[in-house]
């Protein structure tokens, strides 16, 4: 179908239309020199520019695509098969699917190229997002049947980085929930607790004490306890073998008693 015969295409604002397209469009002439790009491409080039020594997107105008593509990509542009699509990586940070096609005028004459960048991914942003997601999983903080007690379920490998992040989350949760008792369950800890982790746990217990709350440790396995003794580590909190014993202690302190019906 000939687009020129469609009434809605008469006197259309081409630039505004191209800017409204969600994909990044970069136009180049027959000699591969960049002539124009739309607004999404401008935002993309703002990110990529510093990696090639270009600070402002407008500076890409007049630059040759050959400066940013290898010989393989150049051969594709000089070939006969269009449109052509490929997955590319840039500077070990960005990935994208790029589609290259020829631009023809109303007479069908070849005037240049249009590059469409799709699914652009910034690895660093993705990694940062994943790190934040993992942090949210670091320390499940769980309410108990008692409003005055919360459970901190520790699992996996308790590293210094993890306990440092967890400290803030635990203190915030303690303040928000006005918890008087924080039960730390170490049952799921897979490895030994090193000196720095023990130091941070001791600091956390002191911080909770200043907030008027009591830290309780449960589920420390014999290997962890033995290693802590050998290292001369001392954590000054109430400890119990299991969560059941720990929560029973809290019930007793609060004056509650479980009675079987």
The SS3 call for residue 68 is: coil
Taking residues 56-77, what's their average pLDDT? 81
Q: Note the pLDDT of residue 131.
A: 64
pLDDT of 66 above 70: yes
Question: Tens of pLDDT along 74-123?
Answer: 676 777 778 888 887 777 677 788 899 999 998 889 999 999 988 677 65
Q: Strand 24-29: give its sheet, edge to edge.
A: 34-37, 24-29, 110-122, 94-104, 84-90
Work out the angle between the directed axes of helices 160-177 and 195-210 (0-180°, nearest 10).
Answer: 10
Q: Note the pLDDT of residue 34.
A: 95
pLDDT of 126 above 80: no
Domain with CATH 3.30.450.20 in the chain: 9-126
pLDDT of 235 above 90: no
The SS3 call for residue 149 is: strand
Listed in order, strand segments (DSSP E) in the chain are 24-29, 34-37, 84-90, 94-104, 110-122, 141-143, 149-156, 181-189, 214-218, 238-240
Q: Write down the pTM of the prediction.
A: 0.51
pLDDT of 136 above 70: no
Question: Tens of pLDDT along 199-230?
Answer: 888 899 999 999 999 999 999 988 888 877 87
Give the whole-angstrom CA distance, residue 38 versus residue 57: 11
| CATH 3.30.450.20 given to domain 9-126 | yes
CB 112, CB 30: distance < 8 Å: yes
Domain with CATH 3.30.750.24 in the chain: 139-253
CB 100, CB 83: distance < 8 Å: yes
Which CA distances in Å does 24 have to 4, 46, 52, 85, 173?
A: 25, 12, 18, 14, 43
Taking residues 173-190, what's their average pLDDT? 91
Per-residue pLDDT band at 138 (split at 50, 70, 90)? low
Taking residues 158-177, what's their average pLDDT? 86
Residue 88, beta-bridge partner list: 96
Which CA distances in Å does 216 have to 31, 156, 164, 210?
A: 72, 19, 18, 15
pLDDT of 124 above 60: no
Q: Note the pLDDT of residue 233.
A: 73
Taking residues 151-169, what's their average pLDDT? 83
Q: Note the pLDDT of residue 5.
A: 59
Question: Tens of pLDDT along 144-153?
Answer: 988 899 999 9
Cβ burial of 183 (10 Å; 0-12, 13-18, 19+) is buried
Following DSSP, what letter does each residue of 32-43 receive, concatenated? Answer: -BEEEE-HHHHH
Question: Tens of pLDDT along 5-49?
Answer: 566 667 778 888 898 888 899 999 999 999 999 999 999 899 889
Q: Which residues are CB-contacts of 161 (< 8 A; sequence separation ≥ 6)?
A: none
State the average pLDDT for the chain: 84
φ/ψ bin of 12: left (φ > 0), alpha (ψ from -120 to 50), beta (otherwise): beta
DSSP H helical ranges for 149-258: 160-177, 195-210, 222-230, 243-253
Q: Strand 181-189: give its sheet, edge to edge.
A: 141-143, 149-156, 181-189, 214-218, 238-240
Q: Note the pLDDT of residue 145.
A: 86
Q: Note the pLDDT of residue 3.
A: 55
CATH of 139-253, one of 3.30.465.10, 3.30.750.24, 3.10.20.30, 1.10.443.10: 3.30.750.24
Give the whole-angstrom CA distance, residue 226 versus residue 192: 10
């Amino acid at each position: 179908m000939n687009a020129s015969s469609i009434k809605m295409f008469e006197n259309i604002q081409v630039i505004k239309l191209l800017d409204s397209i969600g994909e990044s469009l970069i136009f180049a002439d027959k000699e591969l020199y960049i002539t124009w790009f739309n607004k999404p491409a401008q935002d993309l080039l703002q990110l990529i520019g510093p990696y090639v020594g270009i600070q402002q997107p407008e500076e890409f105008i007049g630059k040759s695509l050959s400066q940013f593509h290898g010989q393989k990509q150049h051969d594709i542009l000089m070939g006969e098969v269009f449109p052509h699509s490929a997955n590319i990586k840039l500077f070990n940070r960005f990935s994208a699917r790029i589609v290259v096609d020829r631009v023809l005028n109303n007479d069908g004459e070849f005037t240049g190229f249009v590059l469409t960048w799709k699914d652009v991914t910034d690895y660093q942003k993705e990694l940062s997002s994943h790190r934040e997601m993992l942090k949210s999983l670091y320390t499940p903080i769980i309410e108990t049947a008692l409003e005055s007690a919360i459970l901190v379920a520790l699992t996996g490998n308790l590293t210094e980085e993890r306990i440092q992040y967890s400290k803030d989350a635990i203190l915030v949760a303690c303040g928000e929930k006005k918890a008087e008792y924080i039960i730390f369950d170490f049952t799921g800890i897979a490895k030994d607790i090193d000196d720095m982790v023990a130091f941070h746990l001791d600091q956390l217990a002191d911080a909770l004490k200043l907030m008027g709350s009591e830290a309780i440790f449960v589920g420390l396995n014999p290997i962890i306890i033995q290693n802590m003794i050998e290292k001369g580590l001392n954590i000054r909190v109430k400890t119990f073998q299991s969560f059941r014993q720990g929560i029973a202690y809290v019930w007793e302190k609060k004056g509650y008693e479980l009675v079987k019906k």
